[in-house]
Structure formats: C-alpha cells, structure tokens
Structure 1
Amino acid sequence: MDIQSTFETLDKKFTSYGGLEQGGITRLLYSPEWIAAVRELEATFKEEGLEVSFDDVGNLSGRLVGSKYPEETILTGSHIDTVVEGGHLDGQFGILSALVAVKYLKEKHGQPLRTIEVLSLAEEEGSRFPYTFWGSKNFFNLAKKADVDTIEDAEGIKFEDAMHESGFDYRKTDDVRGDIKAFVEVHIEQGKVLEAENKAIGVVTGIVGQKRYTINLKGEANHAGTTPMSLRRDTVVAYSEIVTDLTKRAREIGEPLVLTFGHVAPVPNTVNVVPGEITFSIDCRHIDQQLLNNFAREIEDKVKAVAEANSMTYDINLWMDEAPSLMDKEIIQIIEKAAKANVGDRYKLMPSGAGHDAQIFADFVPTAMLFVPSIGGISHNTNEETKIEDLVKGIEVLKDVLFELAYKE
C-alpha cells in the first residue's frame, strides 16, 4: 500500500464536502456539508472492514477489533468540523491519517491484539454555535443540555433544532467508557516553529493553559481641544501603558508564555473627543500552571495600578481559565522513538499553544499528540497547507505508534 497516494485520494474526496472555490473548507456542525462528510466517512469505514457506530451526538467510530484483548481500545482521530473558510487539514488530517495508518497496519500485520478505533469527533471549533469541544465533551459526559439548548447560530437556528434535523440528539446515558487505554491525536502544528527549525515532527508534551480577560476602564470623555494633557483621564493612554508594560514583562519571562491584546473598543471612538472609556481583551497562555497563575496576577495588578494612577475605575472579568493539559509520558516516549526511526533528529519536543480535543481526553485517559509542520504557520485559513512529504511522515510515525500500542504485548 502506498501511504501518500492513499491519503491524497481520501483527502481529495473529503475536502469536497464543504469545499470552497478558492480552496479550503467550510464545514460547520450539523450543516448539510457536515452531514454529507460524516455519512461518507461512515461508508468509507465500512469499506475498510471496520465496525462502525455513531453515538447520540454524532461522534463516529470505526473499530478494528483486537484478537487477544478486544476490550482494550487504542483510540486515534480528531474532529470533522472546520472554521468558516478553513483549511483542509485542521481536524480532517487527524482522522484521515488514522484511517490510512490503520489500513496499512491491517494489510501488513493483520488483526491487532488490541482494538484500534478511528474516531471522528463531531465538533471542536465552536464556529457555528458559541460552544466548543461538543464532540469530546460528550464523549466523557461533560456537556450538558443546559449548555446549548438556548444557543443559536448567526442565522438564528437553534442548536438543538440543527442537531435534530441532522438525525442526532442529546446524550442519553451518563456512562463513560472504561476500555480506552490510549488516545493519540495527529494534527498540523498551526504555527511556524517546526518549519522555522526544519523539523518534520513535533512531539507534544502538553497543551497550554489559557486565561482570557475582558477589561473595562472608565475615565472621562472630554473635548480634545480644550482639555490640557495634564487634566485628562484618557483611557486609551492608560490602555497603551498596560500593553507596553505587560508585553515587555512577557518578553522578559520568555517562551512559552504568550500574551495577546485582541479586541479593543474605545468610547466614544471619534477624532475630537478624549476617550473616556475602553474595553479590551487579554489572552495569556503557558504550559506551566503556576507560572500562568503568577503572570495572571501581574496582569491584574498592572491594570489596577494604571487605573488608580490615572483616576479611573476598572472592571476585570476573567471569563476563561483553562488549566494546562499534560500528555502521557509513556506515550510521549513511544512517539519520540517512532519519530527518531522515521525522521532522525528532525523532531522536536514542544508544547501546543492551541487547544485540541486531546486536552479533554487527557483528563480521563492516557493521551498524546504529534504535530506535522504548517507552511508559513498558516491555519484557520483557506491557504492552510503542509508539504505532502511531511504529511506522509506524520502518518508513518502514527502507524508505528499504533503498532507499538495495539500489536505488541
């Protein structure tokens, strides 16, 4: 079996479901494009001789049942949904790489000792509805009806109406599976590190924790021409000081800490009025929980200090506080061994700066991830791409990892 041609054929087929003229995919949860993709994947799993099943919400599994330990499952896969105008690799590559690897192993080595299950998770991105990890959270009975029963998409379609129209429903059992011995997710890096360092494989040590804030400062709006600089309570100036000081501090602390100031909304946001109010977002991430907590305290202290020094009131809303998720050390060693065998020293131990389904799995089962490079670090974009030789190397490493986990005693 030729891994490259097999993958390219599958990728071309599945990219057509939600495929865009300019390239890439828009395939949102419970949309017609999503339904067509999962039904085609169901048929493909069956063609490959896998035992196929959906759960209540639309997670799809294809199982190659083990001969000696069928009740022990090695799970591998990713999510089938995309962002709006996304690429053809984010999520999809993790599913198709798993399918190709299992097909290769079955043809070369026959039935495994342990069951291998290829998993297509219903949703990860949160691109249609304001809720993320619907697939993996349902897998572990973490999602609740109350989380989604009132939310709508941009067209006013209710989550549960779209779900029911697709033939799926809320989870009907509280049971959580106890058969999973490992979960391995393959993903494009979505960053520039591997490409910049000429590495073919990233062995993920953990997924960073995230804290996200919405900050509001209130000073005083006033005439731009008649208010002296010494008498101003200018919230944009205060914001600028916070950005400058915290960015400098983040650079002093160094990688892998990252800090981002995203949305900014000054009021009244006009040319001839001193802005008397501003709302802005802060996103900070680190793989170490204590260091993340420490920096978060610095953020809050800086906002308070600058606001008080400028006679302003402030509101600090920490609306996301996700802990880091560390990958399983034993599986990391297996991936590292497989990476050495396939790419020599062209691999890198690294954290993931983006969130993935693996962070949900890591709280319940031994979990690991491996990355392949992204050209230019571009992702969530129709120009998202990875060299075919790097995609193939990712599949080859995955098949070796699955062989170690499922075929050996």
Structure 2
Amino acid sequence: MTSFQSDIEETLPWLSSFGAAPDGGITRLLYSPQWLEAQQQFKSRMQQDGLQTRFDEVGNLYGRINGTRYPEEVILSGSHIDSVVNGGNLDGQFGALAAWLAIRRLYKTYGAPLRTLEMVALAEEEGSRFPYVFWGSKNIFGQADPEDVRHIADAKGIPFTQAMSECGFTLAAAPLKPRADIKTFVELHIEQGRILETHQQEIGVVTAIVGQRRYTVMLSGESNHAGSTPMSYRRDTVHAFSRICCESIAKAQAMGDPLVLTFGKVEPQPNTVNVVPGKTCFTIDCRHTDAALLKAFTGELEADMRRICDEMNIGIDIDLWMDEAPVPMDTHLVDKLETICQSEKLNYRLMHSGAGHDSQIFAPQVPTCLIFMPSIGGISHNPAEATHIKDLAAGVKTLALMLYELAYKE
C-alpha cells in the first residue's frame, strides 16, 4: 500500500482550520460553532468520496461503506473531534481523519469490503467545556445517563442542553439504545509521551490503558503567627504535605515503571507569607496497568499519610473520587497488529497507554485495539504538539492494513 503522506498534507491543515488560533493551536469544544462546522464540513468531504454519512442523536459523525457479505458486522475506527482549550492539531482529530483516509484508500483500491467499514468522529472525549468526559463513546453503548448532563453548564453559564440544541441535537429522555452491530473498534492516536521517540520507533501497539486512582486530601492543623509560634508548637500542614509528597514519590520511584504518581494541585491556607498554614488541600493521581498492584500501592500511601499526620498531630480527610480499573486491549487484535508490523518491517514496540482514550470505553464492550504514533518531545494538549509526517503516514498505513485484515478477509 502506497504512502499516505500526500493525503495527510492535503487534509490535515483543512480539518485543523476549524477552531484554529493564530498561534497554531485549536480550540474546538463540544457543541461550539467551531465544533459544528468541523463536523458538517467533515460530513460533506466524506459524502464526496462516496461514503454514507450520518449523525447520531448526540452528534457522533459516521461515514461508512457497506459490506457485501456481512453488512451487519461493522469494523469501526476513529477518535474524538473535540479539543482541549488551545490544544494541538493531532490529539483526537487525527484518529478520525486517519480512519477516513484509510477507508477511502481501501475503497478506491479494493472496492466494497466483505464487512461494513465505518469511521467515527466522536462528539466529545476531553471534558474541556462541560464537566463530563467520553460523551461520544459512552452514548454509543448506552452508558451516558442524560440526567448527568441535563443541569450542567459551561464556564460562561451556557447550559449543556442549550448548546446541544443550538447544534441541532436534542437530549434524550433516557440512555440511548446500545449499538449491537460493532464487531471491532480500532483507534489510532499520537502517543502523547516520548517513549516511541526516545527509542526511535514508528508504531506503538498498545496492550492496555492504565487504571487510575485519584484523591483529594485535606490536611487540618492550626493557623498561627509565623514569628511568635515556636517550631515545636506548630501544626503546619505544608510541612505534613511535604513529608507525604517526598515519601510517596520515593516509594513510587522504587516501585518503577509502569507506576506513575503525581501531586498535581496544592492549595495551602491561608497561603500568605507570615502565617503558619492551618489547612492544605492537595490532589493525588496514581496510575498502573495492574489493578491489584494499583490498589495495593495506593493503600500503602493512604496508611503512610495517616501515620505521618498522627505523628504531627494533623487531621486528615482522604477522598478517593476516581477509581478506574486498567483496560486491556484485545489480545487477538494485538497479535494481528504485531504480525502486520513485522511483515511491513515497521520498528514497533508493545506498550501501555498512560493516558485515557475512547478505546477504554469500547474495549469492555467489543474487541478493541489502539495504535500509537510518536509525539515529538512528548508534547500534547499544546499548540506545539507535533509528529513527523513520515510517522503520521506510517500510522495511517498500519491502520489501513489492519482494517483490510478485519473487513476484507474471511
């Protein structure tokens, strides 16, 4: 199969123009005018290529070529079309674009497939406008409860239902009926890390998406005068936090990959120069591909935090507000991807994903696989997000070969 480089050079700038900023970034939030224009123009381009197009009830966009022998078996590929605020032009949208380019090339080269080939530009994944994530993929499987979004609004106070209505969609009264025709889902995505680039590899074959546990922790001590309170009398919550942070990170480093641990937000109170901080609120984000190890490690962290606070006469409240299990990819599809990479002499690696993707919603429902391409410098969610064109082309080619195996062969 010939290179997709010229196809990418023609279509990526076009799709990136919807919601583009002067600095090269993209802001394309769910149900915004920029989002709607991108979806409508994408629909028009696919129609010109002979794909049957449609929107579902929430704005997921589909383009399909019906199968000649097994039309009821759908091989689906794509990713989300929305972006973060001032994000890059690859995260999400390139997976949707690649699915279209791959299906278009397959159709022109081999004609109609045995199984139905379908691409999807998922309405939303990021949660950048409204406090809800995976709206697009969750609705495909009836996992999105309309009541969860019926009364939420964006930062400007615009209700979710109003924004949805202005784009021509209406919030359903009950969860949508799950699709039962999807046989396989394949997603192509930039890595958003630097592992592939560091090892000078073209393709990542993802074996699992990490599980995540997230906490908000509140430490309660005593605010007091910074000058007249002796060190031995203090109940300093920043001191307690610093001990927790240092001990926890040392423990994470000792455990090693693929565990990662992040203290991402720290808010001492009263947060002024001459007062001992009586309260400190902070977050913890811990990820691992093994559910049992993730639970065991974070259990140790909880015990360590309580011990430190007991030693320092500090109160502690621990809120575990996210507990997402790791999501393995389908082993048969992983093996098939490996075979393709080997036959094409691609420099690839088996790896896990440290970030969340739509594939984690699909994988518990249908056989799913996720393909990574390198990210220059590991930069993502940033206008500087970039991948070399040869690596983008290798990614689309790998996707196309995988879709050929799934849709054109018995």
- By the TM > 0.5 criterion, same fold? yes
The structure 2 residue matched to 1:206, chosen from 205, 208, 212, is 208
- CA–CA distance in 1 between the matches of 2:90 and 2:183? 26
The superposition leaves residues 360-381 of structure 1 with CA deviations (integer Å, 9 ceiling, x where unpaired) of 0011000010000000000000
Partner of 1:126: 127
Partner of 1:326: 328
Which consecutive segments of 4 or more residues in structure 1 shift more than 6 A? Answer: none
- CA–CA distance in 1 between the matches of 2:159 and 2:386? 33
Specify the code of the residue in structure 1 equivalent to 2:254: E
Partner of 2:292: 290
Partner of 2:385: 384
Partner of 1:152: 153
- CA–CA distance in 1 between the matches of 2:373 and 2:278? 47
The superposition leaves residues 250-299 of structure 1 with CA deviations (integer Å, 9 ceiling, x where unpaired) of 01111000000011000111111111110000000001000010011012
Please say if residues 3 and 393 of structure 2, whose CA atoms lie closer than 8 Å, have aligned partners that are also in contact: no
- CA–CA distance in 2 between the matches of 1:169 and 1:329? 38
Range 30-39 or range 164-173, more displaced = 164-173
- CA–CA distance in 2 between the matches of 1:256 and 1:247? 14
Q: Does 1:316 align with 2:318?
A: yes
SS of the residue aligned with 1:10?
helix
Partner of 1:196: 198
- CA–CA distance in 1 between the matches of 2:307 and 2:386? 44
- CA–CA distance in 2 between the matches of 1:334 and 1:64? 23
SS of the residue aligned with 2:264?
strand
Please say if residues 78 and 92 of structure 1, whose CA atoms lie closer than 8 Å, have aligned partners that are also in contact: yes
Cα shift at 1:153: 0.8
Partner of 2:376: 375
Partner of 2:409: 408
- CA–CA distance in 1 between the matches of 2:20 and 2:352? 31
Cα shift at 1:342: 3.0
- CA–CA distance in 2 between the matches of 1:63 and 1:228? 72
- CA–CA distance in 2 between the matches of 1:175 and 1:156? 30
Please say if residues 3 and 397 of structure 2, whose CA atoms lie closer than 8 Å, have aligned partners that are also in contact: no
Partner of 2:179: 177
Cα shift at 1:343: 4.1
Cα shift at 1:2: 5.4
SS of the residue aligned with 2:213?
strand
Partner of 1:278: 280
Please say if residues 219 and 234 of structure 1, whose CA atoms lie closer than 8 Å, have aligned partners that are also in contact: yes
Q: Does 1:261 align with 2:263?
A: yes
The structure 1 residue matched to 2:243, chosen from 241, 249, 252, is 241
Partner of 1:186: 188
Partner of 1:363: 364
Please say if residues 75 and 119 of structure 1, whose CA atoms lie closer than 8 Å, have aligned partners that are also in contact: yes
SS of the residue aligned with 1:350?
strand
Specify the code of the residue in structure 2 equivalent to 1:366: P
Specify the code of the residue in structure 2 equivalent to 1:270: T
TM-score of the aligned structures, taking structure 1 as reference length: 0.98
- CA–CA distance in 2 between the matches of 1:204 and 1:107? 29
Cα shift at 1:154: 1.0
Cα shift at 1:341: 2.7
Cα shift at 1:48: 1.2
Range 2-11 or range 283-292, more displaced = 2-11
1:330-349 matched pairs, under 5 angstroms: 330-344=332-346, 346-349=347-350
Aligned-residue Cα RMSD (Å) equals: 1.1
- CA–CA distance in 1 between the matches of 2:258 and 2:139? 30
Cα shift at 1:83: 0.3
Please say if residues 139 and 176 of structure 2, whose CA atoms lie closer than 8 Å, have aligned partners that are also in contact: no
SS of the residue aligned with 2:71?
strand
Partner of 2:114: 113
Cα shift at 1:175: 2.0
Partner of 2:29: 28
- CA–CA distance in 2 between the matches of 1:106 and 1:149? 40
Specify the code of the residue in structure 1 equivalent to 2:50: G
1:79-98 matched pairs, under 5 angstroms: 79-98=80-99
Please say if residues 130 and 151 of structure 1, whose CA atoms lie closer than 8 Å, have aligned partners that are also in contact: yes
SS of the residue aligned with 2:344?
helix
Cα shift at 1:8: 1.6
Specify the code of the residue in structure 1 equivalent to 2:214: R
Which consecutive residues of structure 1, in runs of 5 or more, have no partner in the other structure? Answer: none
Cα shift at 1:27: 0.4
- CA–CA distance in 1 between the matches of 2:228 and 2:349? 58
Partner of 1:50: 51
Please say if residues 186 and 394 of structure 1, whose CA atoms lie closer than 8 Å, have aligned partners that are also in contact: yes
The superposition leaves residues 152-190 of structure 1 with CA deviations (integer Å, 9 ceiling, x where unpaired) of 111110111000011012246642122111000000000
- CA–CA distance in 1 between the matches of 2:87 and 2:206? 23
Please say if residues 262 and 282 of structure 1, whose CA atoms lie closer than 8 Å, have aligned partners that are also in contact: yes
- CA–CA distance in 2 between the matches of 1:339 and 1:96? 21
Please say if residues 31 and 162 of structure 1, whose CA atoms lie closer than 8 Å, have aligned partners that are also in contact: yes
Please say if residues 139 and 178 of structure 2, whose CA atoms lie closer than 8 Å, have aligned partners that are also in contact: no
The structure 1 residue matched to 2:221, chosen from 202, 219, 222, is 219
Cα shift at 1:5: 1.1
- CA–CA distance in 2 between the matches of 1:174 and 1:144? 8
SS of the residue aligned with 1:262?
coil
Partner of 1:37: 38
SS of the residue aligned with 2:263?
strand
SS of the residue aligned with 1:363?
coil
Which consecutive residues of structure 2, in runs of 5 or more, have no partner in the other structure? Answer: none
Partner of 1:162: 163
Cα shift at 1:24: 2.1
Cα shift at 1:204: 0.4
